[in-house]
């Protein structure tokens, strides 16, 4: 949603190398995609949209949406609004430490991969190669974002984010279709 709001001019980011030690982006205004109040709304809406999967699964999925804001609050400088239009901003600023960011984000990524791999084992070779290929691609993209040049424009950020979300979503869906316990009828 954030890239669409950027393209519509509803939310704003600037490419500002040196804004933090880790990212060249300065997040100026993004109350509808990244405020605490919006997070509660998006989490509840996502849980409701997933309700057909069962109450427990919908609750977990809603909490996963909420976890995005919590993780952002750890890494962002104090730029996360509490509610749309509010002046109060939160953020612990981990992005001001490259080593800290790599350690924390790397540990969380590795933990997520380990948990998923343990609880959704590959059912076939497609499940092995699509999953580990996706993990490799994500690591390369992360390294490129960190070590590469700043993006050429805000529009490029938004379009790359939209395309990446679509591509990675399909790739993850494909991998997931070939993973997990085999259920007998």
pLDDT in tens, 112-140: 999 999 999 999 999 999 999 999 999 99
Residue 185 has pLDDT above 70, yes or no: no
Give the count of alpha carbons within 13 A of 36, CB side only: 14
| Region label for 28, one of left (φ > 0), alpha (ψ between -120 and 50) or beta (otherwise) | alpha
| pLDDT at position 181 | 76
Average pLDDT, the chain: 95
Report d(CA 113, CA 118) in Å as an integer.
8
Report d(CA 43, CA 58) in Å as an integer.
10
| Confidence category of residue 13, pLDDT binned at 50, 70, 90 | very high
Report d(CA 7, CA 5) in Å as an integer.
5
Q: Which tokens in the block code for residue 13? A: 């980011």
Q: Are 75 and 97 in contact, with CB atoms under 8 Å apart?
A: no
Q: Where are the alpha helices (DSSP H) in the chain?
A: 2-7, 31-34, 36-49, 55-75, 98-119, 125-147, 154-176
pLDDT in tens, 58-73: 999 999 999 999 999 9
Count the Cβ atoms, other than its own, within 10 Å of residue 78. Answer: 11
Q: Which residues pair with 70 in a beta bridge?
A: none
Pairing of strands 12-15, 89-90: unpaired
pLDDT in tens, 153-177: 999 999 999 999 999 999 999 999 9
Residue 182 has pLDDT above 70, yes or no: no
Tokens 């933090």 found at: 20
pLDDT mean over 2-13: 96
Give the count of alpha carbons within 13 A of 1, CB side only: 12
Residue 184 has pLDDT above 80, yes or no: no
| Confidence category of residue 183, pLDDT binned at 50, 70, 90 | low
The DSSP secondary-structure symbol of 63 reads H
């Amino acid at each position: 949603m954030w890239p669409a709001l950027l393209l519509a001019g509803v939310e704003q980011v600037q490419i500002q190398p040196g804004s933090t030690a880790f990212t060249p982006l300065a997040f100026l205004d993004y109350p509808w995609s990244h405020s605490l109040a919006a997070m509660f709304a998006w989490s509840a809406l996502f849980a409701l949209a997933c309700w057909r999967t069962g109450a427990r699964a919908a609750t977990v999925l809603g909490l996963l949406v909420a976890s995005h804001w919590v993780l952002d609050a750890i890494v962002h400088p104090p730029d996360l609004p509490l509610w749309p239009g509010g002046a109060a901003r939160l953020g612990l600023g981990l992005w001001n430490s490259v080593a800290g960011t790599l350690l924390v984000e790397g540990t969380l990524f590795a933990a997520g991969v380990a948990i998923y791999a343990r609880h959704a084992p590959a059912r076939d070779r497609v499940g092995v190669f699509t999953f580990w290929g996706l993990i490799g691609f994500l690591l390369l993209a992360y390294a490129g974002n960190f070590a590469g040049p700043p993006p050429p424009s805000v529009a490029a950020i938004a379009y790359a984010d939209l395309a990446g979300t679509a591509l990675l979503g399909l790739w993850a869906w494909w991998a997931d279709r070939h993973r997990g316990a085999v259920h007998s009828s």
